[in-house]
Homo-oligomer: A and B are copies of this chain.
């Protein structure tokens, strides 16, 4: 699989996803052996228009494990030339002369695609704009299910939290919809339920789903519980939601008893109080392993650009 750019999750067909996951498995073996120097002539530019140190560190770690090196900014908006009014396209053309791949965190929806159109080197979307794409997060989530549940076909996934605004759950639902016999349980207070566009998409792909508000009922059914943050400002807007959440959506040791012995708890992080710290030691808690898988997926994507 040779990639030119990575700008949206949709560009990956099902066979390409599985190819990518196999490559990520290879990357794990490489990391366990202490990394490689195969890509030591490559330079990655981290071009972040808004800070996202976690994502930046993950990409940079991936690049360094491959033997490459990094030039990095997380305040490209203060880039002297950007302040002077330079277009994203010009910036990308210039940075492409300093590097072999650009990891772009844009502050505009569609920024990565615009960048890819003019760039002389591959561009990877590291999140573009609030509500835009963050394809590598979606890929690492799916890879974690693939790796830990062993198969994605037939998997039963509950998504809980603020599904209406959650970029990660929307992307993951989108990708899961491509697989066979997947069952999705959207668990949220009505005001924060998964939006109609995704439900329509799933219906078109004959993907089974249900809308729920009682997590306790759903928990025993599923292989994966994917928890997302409900931001404080959302809670502040809905006093009613606030109480419902507090009483029914928080994951604690009690809740974990309802989950299957080989079930998984995932979370895109950062977490607030959706998951009690006491749950961290449970082997079914996969959220920190997800971040490790993120490095592997990003290594696999980088390798796919150059092979």
Residues of A within 8 A of B (CB): 34-35, 37, 40-41, 43, 45, 50-54, 56-58, 60-61, 64-65, 69-76, 78-82, 84-86, 89-91, 93-95, 97-99, 229, 231-232, 269-272, 277, 288, 291-292, 294-295
Please state if B97 and A80 are interface contacts (CB–CB under 8 Å): no
- List of B residues within 8 angstroms of A292 by Cβ: 97
Is the beta-carbon distance between A61 and B43 smaller than 8 angstroms?
yes
Q: Across the interface, do B71 and A61 meet the contact criterion of CB distance under 8 Å?
A: yes
Report the minimal beta-carbon distance from A88 to chain B, rounded to whole angstroms. Answer: 11
Kindly list 16 other residue pairs between chains A and B, CB separation below 8 angstroms, not including A45-B57, A69-B69, A85-B270: A43-B61, A43-B65, A51-B75, A54-B81, A56-B71, A57-B73, A57-B95, A60-B98, A86-B269, A86-B270, A90-B270, A90-B271, A91-B270, A97-B288, A97-B291, A98-B295
Question: What's the nearest-Cβ distance from chain B to residue A48, in Å?
Answer: 10
**Are A71 and B84 in contact, CB atoms less than 8 angstroms apart?**
no
Chain B residues in 8 Å Cβ range of A34 = 41
Partner of A69, one of B54, B64, B76: B64
A84:B229 contact, CB within 8 angstroms: yes
Q: Which residues of B contact A229 (CB under 8 A)?
A: 84
- Chain B residues in 8 Å Cβ range of A86: 269-272
Out of B61, B95, B98, B272, which one reaches A84, CB within 8 Å? Answer: B272
User: What is the minimal beta-carbon distance from A300 to any residue of chain B, in angstroms?
Assistant: 16
Q: Is the CB of A51 within 8 A of B74?
A: no
Known: A98-B291, A272-B84. A73 touches B74 (CB 8 A): yes
Distance between Cα atoms of A291 and B292 in the complex (Å):
35
Q: Is the CB of B84 within 8 A of A270?
A: yes
Tell me the minimal C-beta distance from A295 to chain B in angstroms.
6
Q: A81-B54, A291-B94 are in contact. Are A61 and B270 (CB under 8 A)?
A: no
